[in-house]
């Protein structure tokens, strides 16, 4: 049997429902499928492929490391992991790094660290974790419980306890829940899966102040916003708020699986030897590719380019909307952009995604009412223009029936 969509149904667990299109080759922000049809990529593997497909710097890093050493257990360290950790520390608030394989694992480590920090410093009663409704923090049972979407965590038996949810962008909602028994508040500095919702400055700063008042740690989940996605290296830098723990993954490896948790020395010391671990965390191949991706993105011209591309994409979407009247709002920051469907098109985001695919454009959704765009941070301007033209044709097919 050939490797087609039908084979998926025969051999794969049915928790996904992938497109019939199977990409086999990519270069930059363009992808070709099994039939050599060309697609423009405005999805980026859900904010992962920050430098597009087969970026030569990343390919070279993978090839070079692939000829050296692939894997070591954490009984030993390795040079790529040490170099990457040093760069993360040198370019952020953090003093210590823990490597994992994904955003969920990075968040799992952050939550376990927060609980252990609180237990060691204050006692067992300080265990409450506050997160926000419509938040998303991964699919392990702990992280999906902390995530504020019950549909993802229901149906698997008893959930981890002492986890509550406040309303995003509502300080009064947080004030009603937080106390001296709160060990951590977990938030995305821009909600991704929950609808591309930016925090107000007042909210971001108010959350930090409430954490300080109650001796609670502030954890920023920057799995989707990190490594240049918002036009800053990390989104916290644009908010004027410094978290105690930060998690990063997705774009960190530019497509190679890797995640990391960043924190201070004083907090990190509570993950003593044996308290947590990961077989593949700090893998030399992953860290070598991530170092190359990090070096490429952590450049002022690239980060400024993200802000320029944001304006091109937003203005293009606004022009489409002036013509077809399908969106109530274009929102987001950097190249994490959401087009919110208006009342006439509620619940139809997937239809727009499918129509775009027919026109040769890869896009995403964030719920039933928002089309999400997370292209490469270095997508050529001509690819933005062509992608928008294809999206406009997709919109036209839906509006005109």
Q: Which residues are annotated as a binding site for N(2)-acetyl-L-ornithine?
A: 139, 278
221 as an active site residue: the answer is: yes
Tell how strand 128-132 and strand 96-100 pair up.
unpaired
Given 41, 99, 142, 250, which residue is catalytic? 250
Nearest to residue 117, comparing CAs of 183, 58, 173, 55? 183
Q: Give yes or no: 99 in active site.
A: no
Q: Roughly what angle, to the nearest 10 degrees, separates helices 300-324 and 284-297?
A: 80
| Angle at alpha carbon of residue 237, lines to 184 and 381, rounded to 5° | 125
For 316, the token pair is 């293009």
Strand partners, 197: 191
Q: What contacts 393, CB < 8 A, 6 or more positions away?
A: 359
Contacts of 89 (CB under 8 A, 6+ apart): 95, 96, 97, 262
- How far from 206 is each of 186, 211, 214, CA to CA, in Å? 14, 9, 12
Binding residues for pyridoxal 5'-phosphate: 103-104, 136, 221-224, 279
Residue among 99, 136, 142, 256 flagged as catalytic: 136
Helix (H, G, I), strand (E, B) or coil at 130: strand
Cα–Cα distances (Å) from 197 to 168, 313, 324, 340, 349, in that order, read 9, 17, 24, 11, 17
What is the number of alpha carbons within 13 Å of residue 377 lying toward its C-beta? 36
CA 175 to chain centre: 27
Residues in contact with 180: Cβ distance below 8 Å, sequence separation at least 6, in sequence order: 126, 214, 215
Place of tokens 């606004």: 318
Closest CA to 258 of 79, 66, 48, 95: 48
Query: Tokens 């376990």 map to which residue?
Result: 112
Per DSSP (E only), the strands in 265-384 are: 327-333, 336-341, 361-362, 364-365, 370-373
3-state secondary structure of 259: strand
Active site residue 136: yes
Torsion region of 47: left, alpha or beta (phi above 0 gives left; psi -120 to 50 gives alpha): left
Q: Which residues belong to the active site?
A: 136, 221, 250
């Amino acid at each position: 049997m050939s490797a087609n969509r039908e084979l998926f149904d025969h051999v794969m667990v049915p928790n996904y429902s992938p497109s019939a299109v199977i990409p086999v080759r990519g270069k930059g922000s363009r992808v070709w499928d099994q039939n050599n049809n060309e697609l423009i990529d405005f999805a980026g593997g859900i904010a992962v492929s920050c430098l597009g497909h087969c970026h030569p710097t990343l390919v070279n890093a993978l090839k070079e490391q692939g000829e050296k050493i692939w894997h070591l257990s954490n009984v030993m360290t390795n040079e790529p992991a040490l170099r990457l950790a040093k760069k993360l520390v040198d370019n952020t608030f953090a003093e210590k790094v823990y490597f994992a394989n994904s955003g969920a694992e990075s968040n799992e480590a952050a939550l376990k660290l927060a609980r252990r920090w609180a237990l060691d410093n204050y006692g067992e009663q300080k265990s409450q974790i506050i997160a926000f409704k419509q938040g998303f923090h991964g699919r392990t049972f702990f992280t999906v419980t902390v995530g504020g979407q019950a549909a993802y965590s229901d149906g698997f038996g008893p959930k981890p306890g002492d986890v509550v949810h406040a309303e995003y962008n509502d300080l009064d909602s947080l004030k009603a829940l937080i106390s001296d028994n709160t060990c951590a508040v977990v938030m995305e500095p821009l909600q991704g899966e929950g609808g591309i919702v930016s925090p107000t400055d007042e909210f971001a700063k108010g959350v930090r102040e409430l954490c300080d008042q109650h001796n609670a740690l502030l954890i920023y989940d920057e799995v989707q916003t990190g490594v240049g996605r918002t036009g800053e290296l990390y989104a916290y830098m644009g908010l004027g708020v410094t978290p105690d723990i930060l998690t990063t993954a997705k774009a960190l490896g530019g497509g190679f699986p890797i995640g990391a948790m960043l924190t201070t020395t004083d907090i990190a010391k509570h993950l003593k030897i044996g308290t947590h671990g990961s077989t593949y965390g700090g893998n030399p191949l992953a860290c070598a590719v991530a170092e190359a991706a990090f070096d490429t993105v952590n450049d002022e011209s690239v980060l400024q380019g993200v802000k320029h591309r944001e304006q091109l994409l937003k203005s293009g979407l606004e022009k489409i909307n002036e013509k077809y009247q399908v969106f109530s709002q274009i929102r987001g920051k950097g190249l994490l952009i959401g087009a919110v469907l208006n009342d006439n098109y509620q619940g139809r985001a997937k239809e727009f995604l499918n129509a775009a695919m027919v026109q040769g454009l890869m896009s995403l959704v964030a719920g039933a009412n928002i089309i999400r765009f997370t292209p490469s941070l270095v997508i050529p301007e001509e690819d933005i223009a062509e992608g928008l033209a294809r999206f406009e044709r997709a919109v036209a097919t839906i509006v005109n029936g």
